[in-house]
Amino acid sequence: MSDQVVRDTEEAPTTHDGLLSWVREIAGLTRPDRIEWCDGSPDAWQRLTDRLVTEGTVVRIAKRPNSFVATTSPDDAVRIVDRTYICSRDPKDAGPTNRWRDPEEMRATFGGLFAGAMRGRTMYVVPFSMGPLGGPVSQLGVELTDSPFVAASMLIGTRAGTAALRLIEESGSFVRCVHSVGAPLTAGRADVPWPSNPVKHLAHFPESREVWSFGSAFGDNGALGKKSYSLRIGSVMAREDGWLAEHMVVLKVTPPTGEPRFVAAAVPAGCGKTHLAMLGRTPNGWNYELLADDMAWMRFDADGRLRAVNPEFGILGVARGNGESTNPNVLRTMHANTLFTNVALTDDGDIWWDGMTEQTPAHLTDWRGRDWTPDSPEPAAHPRAKFTTPTSQCPTVAPEWDDPRGVPISAIVFVERRSTTVPLVTEANDWAHGVFLGACLSVESGPGRTPEDGTPRRDAFSMESFLGYHLGDYLRHWLELGRTVGPDRLPRLFSVNWFRRGEDGTLLWPGYGENARVLRWIVERINGEAAALDSPIGKLPLASALDTEGLAVDEETLARLLSVDARAWRRETELIADYLDGIGERLPGELREQHRALVGRLG
């Protein structure tokens, strides 16, 4: 190690022996020129962003205070799904939904890739907490990275800095996250604005609580507190310690009169997650406030109530689909203090992506730095352009969003995307039936994600891409947790589908802000104020119980939205059977029983 690295370690702002020895170990492997500890202060943010501007990685956005836009290299503009691994000792523990790699072989691969990978660069040490500082379900971590952009993203996305470091010193334990762009500045090699490596890997070691990422600094390829820690490693921790780490939105729903209720929702990609998270106040006086836009950690408290916290401190989202007419609250959230990636730039110094404004600008600089007009053959912003912005800036954020105690969850909703078959909203008969609904969550989402024969893709609990262990064990964990408290204490479980279409292909439900009306019925069900009818697949709203005042939804359309076609559902049970078979021998028998019961009710 260089003399500077030795001094930086000796002058580290901690005496935690385990942390210091690990930092020395990784520094000895990667050979950075120096080490910088990120204390989470405004000065730390200023140093990082000044450096990023100087190096040409980001440019300041004139129209948005303290905000910046980065343009990645073209080969580093997406999540590295096909090179994301679970490195469990037993390959069976990774399950049917993950790519497995032998942990020792993966460590050997990383040993070669990371050797000298940080030469010429600074290694940033970012201590952080996932979840409110000191909360009963919160967990700690440290990321080592040679990307100042990743370090800056972690300062927005997590509770990073000195306060987290002090908690690590008290607890003694933390999840280890190691990241490098894989572009050492060896003799004669000039730096570039967005360094990366054609070789990319993202590996999770659930038994040792580690995440290693190489070659990419894009999104959560580099900011490892996001999906890697909060879901893949978090789900393993949750199973072992008796809680839940979930890919869910959390909302506070407050009627015009009465007490607020808290609702969690599992929303797969392309199903309107950000729109749902930021509904805001509706004309009928109901108010929908944000607690978590993407992930929820949930634990039963001493009274048997399931309480949820937001493990994140910021919102890291895909820009596409968010616009003035579709989700104005997200645009208001990113008014300042935001990092953007691969968006276009307007001539007057602002950012833009397709659909952001109702009127398309006549001229832009696209994400690759080229002149762009509406006649250009490619979109101005990359389809996976991203933003990272503080949750606290959301105009609809609930005051409880950072409460260490969490909020009591009254309902959990599984959002499906189906053009046929699945009704607008269905309430589960009980907890086990609800787990069955969540396990069979289905999505039709276009080319590449729905098989050519038109069968839907299953995405259990919207977690199949983010589990750190076997899907069958995960479903068993949900069932077992439901037996730990009385039925009267459990949240009610629901399935929704606001993507059903008519014979002409048009959506039957208006969607967007009108989805609040479906949540209203769910809350009224919890409060004992809304009627429902039993059906073979669960409880459905009475047409008169669903608020459609002012909507262009006639009685015939509403009947179609709430209909259960027995013939279509018998075909659905065949598809579900094939899916359950694919989970394998670890599938809980209770879900087989739920499937048989559904077949029997359909006749």
**Positions marked active-site:** 271
Q: Strands (DSSP E) along 272-421, which ranges? A: 280-281, 287-292, 296-300, 306-309, 314-318, 339-341, 344-346, 351-352, 364-365, 371-372, 386-390, 407-415
On whether the CB atoms of residues 345 and 365 are closer than 8 A, the answer is yes
CB 351, CB 378: distance < 8 Å: no
Q: What is the rounded CA–CA span in Å between residue 183 and residue 236?
A: 32
Which amino acid makes up residue 15?
T
314 to 264, 292, 410, 509: CA distances (angstroms): 18, 9, 24, 31
How large is the C-alpha radius of gyration of the chain? 24
Q: What is residue 458's three-state secondary structure?
A: strand
What is the C-alpha to C-alpha distance for residues 52 and 193, in angstroms, rounded to an integer?
Answer: 8
For residue 462, the one-letter residue type is: S
Burial-class residue 592 by CB neighbours within 10 Å (0-12, 13-18, 19+): middle
Backbone angles phi, psi at 344, to 5 degrees: -90, 165
Burial (Cβ within 10 Å: 0-12, 13-18, ≥19) of residue 371: exposed
**How does strand 58-60 pair with strand 68-70?**
antiparallel
What distance in Å separates the CA atoms of residue 37 and residue 30, rounded to the nearest whole number?
Answer: 16
Long-range contacts from 362-371, C-beta under 8 angstroms, 24+ separation? 367/71, 367/342, 367/343, 368/71, 368/74, 369/71
Three-state SS string over 542-585 comes to CHHHCCCCCCCCCHHHHHHHCCCCHHHHHHHHHHHHHHHHHHCC
Task: Return the H-helix or E-strand segment holding 159.
Answer: strand 159-160
Classified as helix, coil or strand, 265 is: strand
Using the structure block, give the residue that is written with the tokens 């990685």. 57
> What pairs with residue 495 in β-bridges?
414, 426
Would you mind telling me the total number of residues written for the chain in this entry?
603
Q: How far is CA 276 from CA 465, 510, 534, in A?
A: 21, 13, 27
Alpha-helical segments (H) within 409-552 = 431-439, 471-482, 515-526
**Neighbouring residues of 86: CB distance < 8 A, sequence distance ≥ 6:** 93, 94, 98, 99, 100, 101, 204, 206, 232, 468, 469
Q: How many CB atoms lie within 10 A of CB 2?
A: 14
